[in-house]
Chains A and B, each alone.
Chain A
Amino acid sequence: MSSGRSPSGTSTIEAVEVSTTEGHRVRRVIVTLLTISAILTFAYSALSIYIATQLVYVPQKPIYATPASLGLTFRYVTFPSWEDHLQLRGWFIPGVLSSGRLTSQRTIIMVHGVRTNRADKGAGLLKLSVELARHGFAVLAFDMRGSGESQPAPLSLGYFEQRDVLGAVDFLRSGRLPFPELGRPRVIAGWGVSLGAATMLLAAAQEPAIRAIVSDSAFTDIIPILEREVPKGSHLPQLFTPGALFAARAIYGVDFYAVRPVDVVASIAPRPIFFIQGTRDAFIPPSNMGDLATAARAAPNANVQTWLVPGATHAQSFNTAGKEYVDRVVAFYTATLGQDSSGT
């Protein structure tokens, strides 16, 4: 610029003065750019870290009732998660046969959703556990890390929680069971709702001992949900979401981008999966069930069933369909796990 504006023949002193003025201008512009960029990035990082701390921390809800309040025998259990050995608390409810005998032959691991616990009043988890037990299925219902009575931990939306399900399987196979007289389960199955369903799918993809899965209101990929929910929860623009997710990885080691049940669901085959979702689910759109079922059916020997529950909102299929829900789930487990033979 300065050379263009310095006519030839200008004296050296004038040229130096022009050049110095331009130099100062350039320097000022660069200092301004450096200051603005540093402030913007620092502010962005600080807010992202704050959002990350809010995202992963959920206050633990106390258990409001036990299976005994619904007339069932149960015992408390504590077992470690797989790999990181966090202490998880739950209860083991033996199945009740029509003869009144207790059984643990067919045991179902039940996994709750986010910001709740193994009794989850909202989704009717305790009631469903009791219904399954009354149909002869033993139930291991436990609190995932950071929930209920289990050890506090960051909420990782399935990334770490799948270790809890794997820990539950290990417990049933080799842990000290609370009803030793009933023996070890002959078969293990899984049931999960919302986050619990997604976590169950992630765990089942790694653990062939989970022989059948009921997945109620699972998501295909957590990122689109976080991209919608993080701005809502933080009251900050969408642009902070990637920063918050990156900060969560730096602070807690949580890789939310890896929480994609849709990528692993096909590897569960030939074990059967029963996908359930409400038609009025506004939190995890029903299209998620369709995408998961399509992905699961990509396996050549897939065994996939689906049920869209009319009028049910998020994680409310059991509360909405009631007896029909229990009948369908019991029929699915009976068909895939076989009959209980302990009474014969």
Chain B
Amino acid sequence: MSSPSIDESNAPAQSSSFPRKSGAWYGTLAGLIPLILLIVMIVVVFILTAVARQLVAASGFFAQQQAALMVLITGLVLAVGVYIVALVFTFRRVTAWKQGGAVVLVRAALWALGVTALLVVLPVLLAIVLPQQPAP
């Protein structure tokens, strides 16, 4: 990541209000929750799209296309909505941890969020990087 490194070693000692939640793992997991939710929702949306396509197959191509598109687009918009809400909640938690002086938690969660940003854009990066051999 090109972002500045997270070092809050000069921050006050961690508050006793986070006695059992001060591990880096917990912070990382909390930071990854939006990504996990996004992935789960996208997988569910793809499954539902396939189911919708099969259910209306007998009604013909146009009905099938309409159903599949509706499920896919609605699902993706919902997934993005859930992702944004999860990010807002995660940042609120990070703020609370910071105010409580839970440096390790804050650092881990912010790293996880940085990784989330990279993973979310990964399909686009792969589409740019992966070679194509168009016919002449």
A38 near B69 with CB under 8 A, answer: no
A19 touching B83 in the complex, CB below 8 Å, given contacts A44-B127, A227-B133, A228-B134:
no
Number of interface residues of A (CB under 8 A): 55
Least CB distance from A221 to B in Å reads 9
Task: Give me 14 other A-B pairs in contact (C-beta within 8 A), A22-B8, A53-B69, A243-B127 excluded.
Answer: A19-B8, A23-B106, A30-B3, A30-B113, A33-B118, A40-B124, A49-B73, A153-B61, A224-B133, A227-B135, A228-B136, A250-B49, A250-B72, A251-B69
Q: Is A122 an interface residue (CB 8 A)?
A: no
A2 near B10 with CB under 8 A, answer: yes
Least CB distance from B109 to A in Å reads 10
Q: Is A99 an interface residue (CB 8 A)?
A: no
Taking CB atoms, residues of chain A closer than 8 Å to B98 are 23
Taking CB atoms, residues of chain B closer than 8 Å to A303 are none
Taking CB atoms, residues of chain B closer than 8 Å to A41 are 120-121, 123-124
Taking CB atoms, residues of chain B closer than 8 Å to A12 are 10, 12
Taking CB atoms, residues of chain A closer than 8 Å to B116 are 34
A152 touching B62 in the complex, CB below 8 Å, given contacts A19-B10, A34-B120, A253-B53:
yes
Taking CB atoms, residues of chain B closer than 8 Å to A77 are none
Q: Is A225 an interface residue (CB 8 A)?
A: yes
A224 near B76 with CB under 8 A, answer: no
Partner-B contacts on A (CB < 8 A):
1-4, 6, 12, 15-16, 18-20, 22-23, 25-27, 29-31, 33-34, 36-38, 40-42, 44-45, 49, 53, 57, 84, 146, 151-154, 224-225, 227-228, 231, 238-243, 250-253, 284-285
Taking CB atoms, residues of chain A closer than 8 Å to B14 are none
CA gap between A52 and B134 in the complex, in Å? 18
Taking CB atoms, residues of chain A closer than 8 Å to B8 are 2, 19, 22-23
A1 near B7 with CB under 8 A, answer: yes
B87 near A34 with CB under 8 A, answer: yes
Number of interface residues of B (CB under 8 A): 52
B117 near A151 with CB under 8 A, answer: no
A53 touching B65 in the complex, CB below 8 Å, given contacts A27-B110, A238-B132:
yes
Taking CB atoms, residues of chain A closer than 8 Å to B61 are 146, 151-154
CA gap between A155 and B49 in the complex, in Å? 19
CA gap between A23 and B95 in the complex, in Å? 10
- Name B117's closest neighbour in chain A (CB-CB): A33
Taking CB atoms, residues of chain B closer than 8 Å to A19 are 7-11
CA gap between A285 and B135 in the complex, in Å? 8
Q: Chain B at the A interface: mostly helix, strand, loop or mixed? A: helix
The 8 closest A-B pairs by CB, nearest first: A15-B10, A37-B121, A33-B117, A228-B134, A227-B134, A224-B135, A152-B61, A29-B3
Least CB distance from A285 to B in Å reads 6
CA gap between A30 and B76 in the complex, in Å? 23
Q: Is B6 an interface residue (CB 8 A)?
A: yes
A227 near B132 with CB under 8 A, answer: yes
A228 touching B120 in the complex, CB below 8 Å, given contacts A2-B10, A26-B4:
no
B113 near A34 with CB under 8 A, answer: yes
Taking CB atoms, residues of chain B closer than 8 Å to A33 are 3, 114, 117-118
Show 26 residue pairs from A and B whose CB-CB distance is below 8 angstroms, ordered by the A residue. A3-B7, A12-B10, A20-B11, A25-B4, A26-B4, A29-B3, A30-B114, A33-B117, A34-B117, A36-B121, A37-B118, A37-B121, A44-B127, A45-B76, A49-B72, A53-B69, A151-B60, A154-B61, A224-B133, A227-B135, A228-B136, A242-B126, A250-B50, A250-B72, A251-B69, A253-B53
